[in-house]
Amino acid sequence: MRLSQMLFVTLREDPAEAEIPSHKLLVRAGYIRRIGSGIYAYLPMMWRVLQKVSQIVREEMNAAGAQETLLPQLQPSELWKESGRWDTYTQAEGIMFAFPDRQKREVALGPTHEEVITAVARDMIRSYRQLPVNLYQIQTKFRDEIRPRFGLMRGREFIMKDAYSFDLDEVGMKESYRKMHDAYHRILTRCGLEFRAVDADSGAIGGSGSQEFMVLAAAGEDEVLYTEDGQYAANVEKAVSLPPDAEPSPFEKFEKRDTPNTPTIESLAKFLNCSPTAIVKNVLYQVVYDNGKTVLVIVSIRGDQDVNEVKLQNELTKLAGQYGGKTIIALSVPSAEEQQKWAAKALPLGYMAPDLNDDYIKPLKDLEPKFLRLVDKTAVDLQLFVTGSNETDRHVVGANWGTQFKLPPLQVDVRKASAGDRAMHDPNQTLQTARGIEIGHIFQLGTKYSKAMGATFTSEQGEELPFVMGCYGIGVSRLAQSAVEQSYDKDGIVWPVAIAPYQAIVVIPNVNDTDQVSAANVIYTELSRAGVEVMLDDRDERAGVKFKDADLIGIPYRIVTGRSLQQGKVEVVRRATRESQEISIHEVVPTIKRWLEEAVKG
Ligand code: ATP
Ligand code: MG
């Protein structure tokens, strides 16, 4: 492609809206253009990158035995009501764009396709003989993200590859899952990314096991904890570990103490000269279930530990039935305004005890009149501990469960694992931390959707059984941007060769020099004929501008028809290393071909 004929616009300045390097670079280099919040135009070079990523995804999906399909983006609400996710997606998370059509029927723009695909399988797959089946599509998804940001990383409209497997039984599903796991490894490797597969929380999608594929980069929104032996890696939302041992409490008997101005664990430990591991802290949460019921929750946990809200949400979801609900609409530490709505009197914040009296809760409709009390495992075995007294500026020391405080019957693991903790599988290993960008997520769904939607097949024994399903997503547009986040320098993007929009760029330093122009034309034509994807910078611009642009857009190999033409030579430069050499014009095609082969094998 000739640059003089392309929509080719680069910017000198970083766009004001962009915070992270990949976003700035993609906008500056003319790959994407913002149209609205979380909405982007993929300009021609970006579209080429996205098609290359899609093609790698497609090849690996096909090789794993999955079949490509295309499902509707417009989805009727009935399907989502059958699966029980309409309320979660329209109200709780509120992530689905949903609206009535002209006939006043509710429809939504697909944020994901479990419902649609399960409906298709229910209609089309009747017998065990038709199983297993794995269907995938590459398509735009819509999600009304609360904080769209970082360009394509978190858009409200983005490209996803989603695949869904249907099996006879659990064993079959695990095999389908393994195939997808391996395919994801190959996809990310072929795209030239540095990544890690980690244990993950399954969130609103549901099901049993799941793993995320994380591209490692400082700008990642996720934290990954892993061990150096390579045996363990998990998203911090899901991670488990051994907490540090508690230090013995320095207090011998139970008493109440004045502890002025000690609302935080740090200030309290300092004041009492004890370890935070000798303290039980009591954290207040407020959960709203989908039936509108609000429950106030007190979590007692060891002072040095923090609550992992994803784990807490999972525990509270298990208890939903007890309060007449199915799912959670909101979980938060209640704000001052929220407290005012339900607190009968001022709460002793920072000084709460595990037994904070239920009379702090006003009798209100849709409000559970009693606190739900949970204790994290780290606090269960503590003895002679310090905790709140329910009076501001006072704590108790030397307390024991079973004596001064009743041990809550609900003992849970809701602590947040953190870097430096000992690993479960080998206490000699400590957890290390890294930032990651979630590129893919694979789930063992089981029968959650097939049961809810009555999607069954007839087994060999003649029984009607629900499909055992898996689902597998890759953020195609997020992946493309992550590649930039992992590979750039001060001058611009350094695309991995396999997904670069073009493989080579021929630069004519001076378009008024006919020798330069004709040599460039010959090289451009020969490279194109040899199957190299090549650009020709034939614009009437200064050489410096062209070199800057070529660096910015990150094309892997550059050929310059400059001064050495007199010796029948051109300069070839590798973008990633900036290695430059002069080679004869006839060597250009074989050299670039060889470099390409070396770069994209594996
Ligand atoms: P996240 O936790 O980042 O919101 P998710 O858990 O909602 O992701 P999935 O529902 O598993 O994501 O979707 C599959 C893949 O789609 C993700 O792994 C990610 O790569 C991509 N993805 C999800 N949401 C977005 C978005 N708003 N913009 C771009 N890509 C996205
Ligand atoms: Mg999400």
Output the DSSP codes for 59-118. Answer: HHHHHTT-EE----SEEEHHHHHHHT-HHIIIIIS--SEEEE-TTS-EEEE-S--HHHHH
Residue nearest to atom 16 of ligand 1 (CA): 475
Instruction: Please report how many Cα atoms fall inside a 13 Å half-sphere around the Cα of residue 87, on the Cβ side.
Output: 12
In angstroms, the Cα distances linking 338 to 297, 341, 358, 366 are 14, 5, 17, 14
Give the domain 255-412 fold: YbaK protein (3.90.960)
Determine the atom of ligand 1 nearest the C-alpha atom of 473. 14
The backbone region for 153, taken as left when phi is positive above 0, alpha when psi lies in -120 to 50, beta otherwise, is alpha
Q: DSSP secondary-structure letter at 401?
A: B
Spacing, Cα 227 to ligand 2 middle (Å): 26
Strand 504-507 with 534-537, pairing: parallel
Q: How far is CA 547 from the centre of its chain?
A: 36
Determine the atom of ligand 1 nearest the C-alpha atom of 439. 20
What residues does CATH 3.40.50.800 cover in the chain? 502-601
Which regions in the chain score pLDDT beneath 50?
Answer: none
Global pTM? 0.89
Q: What is the pLDDT of residues 44-63, one digit of tens each?
A: 999 999 999 999 999 999 99
Spacing, Cα 361 to ligand 1 middle (Å): 38
Spacing, Cα 204 to ligand 2 middle (Å): 9
Spacing, Cα 68 to ligand 1 middle (Å): 20
Residues 6+ apart with CB under 8 A from 590: none
Most informative mutation of 441, 445, 476, 482 for ligand 1 (most atoms within 8 A of CB): 441
What residues does CATH 3.90.960.10 cover in the chain? 255-412
Spacing, Cα 143 to ligand 2 middle (Å): 8
Most informative mutation of 478, 481, 482, 485 for ligand 1 (most atoms within 8 A of CB): 478
Q: Write phi, then psi, for 481 (nearest 5 degrees).
A: -70, -35
Determine the atom of ligand 1 nearest the C-alpha atom of 203. 6
What residues does CATH 3.30.930.10 cover in the chain? 3-240+433-485
The bound ligand whose nearest atom lies closest to the alpha carbon of 147 is: 1
Question: Side chain identity at 286, as an amino acid letter?
Answer: Q
CA distance 16 to 513: 39
Give the domain 3-240+433-485 fold: BirA Bifunctional Protein; domain 2 (3.30.930)
User: Which CATH code is given to the segment(s) 502-601?
Assistant: 3.40.50.800
Residue nearest to atom 12 of ligand 1 (CA): 441
Q: What is the pLDDT of residues 243-298, one digit of tens each?
A: 999 999 999 999 999 999 999 999 999 999 999 999 999 999 999 998 999 999 99
Residue nearest to atom 11 of ligand 1 (CA): 441
Q: Write phi, then psi, for 432 (nearest 5 degrees).
A: -105, 160
Spacing, Cα 226 to ligand 2 middle (Å): 23
According to the model, what pLDDT value does residue 245 have? 92
Measuring from each residue's beta carbon to the nearest atom of ligand 1, which residues come in under 6 Å?
Answer: 112, 143, 145, 154-155, 158, 160, 203, 438-441, 473, 475, 477-478
According to the model, what pLDDT value does residue 204 have? 58
Residue written as token pair 């903790």 = 421
Residue nearest to atom 24 of ligand 1 (CA): 154
According to the model, what pLDDT value does residue 201 have? 84
The reply to whether omega before 466 is within 30° of 0 (cis) is no
Q: What is the pLDDT of residues 216-227, one digit of tens each?
A: 999 999 999 999
* Sequence-ordered alpha helix ranges (H) in 29-101: 44-63, 77-83, 86-87
**Residue 85 in tokens:** 């996710």
Q: What is the pLDDT of residues 10-24, one digit of tens each?
A: 999 999 889 999 999
Q: What angle do CA 549, 550, 554 make, to 5 degrees?
A: 110
* Residue 449: Cβ-neighbour burial (10 angstroms; 0-12, 13-18, 19+): buried
According to the model, what pLDDT value does residue 601 have? 65
3-class SS at 117?
A: helix
Most informative mutation of 115, 160, 202 for ligand 1 (most atoms within 8 A of CB): 160
Which residue, 14, 436, 18, is CA-closest to 212?
A: 436
